[in-house]
Structure 1
Amino acid sequence: MKKAVFLDRDGVINEVLTDRVKFVNEPQQLFFLPGVAKAIKQLNTVFDYIFVVTNQGGVGLGFMKESQLKAIHKHMMAELAKEGAFIQEVAYCPHKPKAGCACRKPNSKMIEDLARKYHVDVSSSYMVGDTDTDIIAGKNAGTKGVFLGTADPLADAVFPDLLSAAEWIIEDANRS
């Protein structure tokens, strides 16, 4: 079985609700947070896969088309690859926030589907997010949860950013 790191997108990989950008609705609105490419590159050396699992209710709410979202993800993956940082696949929930779908985090369907598709052992994997819904989705799927922010009682670890989280994730995975 393989092991993976599942990353939320907004607030983990890229800026959201900042002076530069409120929401990412087109590729040129995607601004990487500091150290993200370096962190993913480090994780690539230890983990079989890095995935992105993201709620993108803006599609269901009509703020962008699904084709625009796919263009954003293609741009994100290409820019990271230029830095030697690779994401295997992006899974997203395009439904409205209160649609009641199975894929929207805190539900774990996106993680479980990727784990099944790529033969990932979720118990040896990590979900990194900046909201409790990210951590709950990871826990529901069976991963460890890493929270980016100040505190989350459900998380296994809390860090201010992805780069410092990556160092802990690698150390923790090597201990297992």
Structure 2
Amino acid sequence: MLTPTITVEFEPGDVQKLLQHAEAAAAHLPCMGDQFVAKYYAGGKVITKNDWPDVGQIDIARIPPALFLVNDSFLMSNGIDPAQAIVCVYKNGHIASEQQNESDAFALGSEELPNVTRILVRDFAGIESAQKIRITFQHDPRKGPLVSLEMVPQNGEPAAIRIVNRRQ
């Protein structure tokens, strides 16, 4: 059975700048799933409010550096830098307009959460020799979405593929 796939590519130099930003930040934005992870709360226990995790109690200094793939459109650093509202790179070489940057920043702060896939910094091992960074989404009707990451080598050899959304 064929399953629908979406593939997006990014320039390694652009992605490396995002990785540097994420690693340099003292604190990092959590993703949706982090609200259920006890180790991100003080005391190692999920703090609840009205029977739901209280995300305001997450210790952002405990969140690991990563990149967020947002709505299969752009990658952004999860590093918190007060000097910059959003640090991102768009897919397939697309250069965002100022208006688009503003709308993306608004979407990230709105009540309707965007579709975000967190990719940890360590998953980008080998980026130094990559020609392209390729991220593929494949929908598995039994298991849900499967997101993979490839560092496409410059010599045309097949890339090692890492599954990036099946981790705890």
Q: TM-score range by the shorter chain?
A: under 0.3
Larger radius of gyration: 2
Instruction: Report which of the two has the higher share of helix.
Output: 1
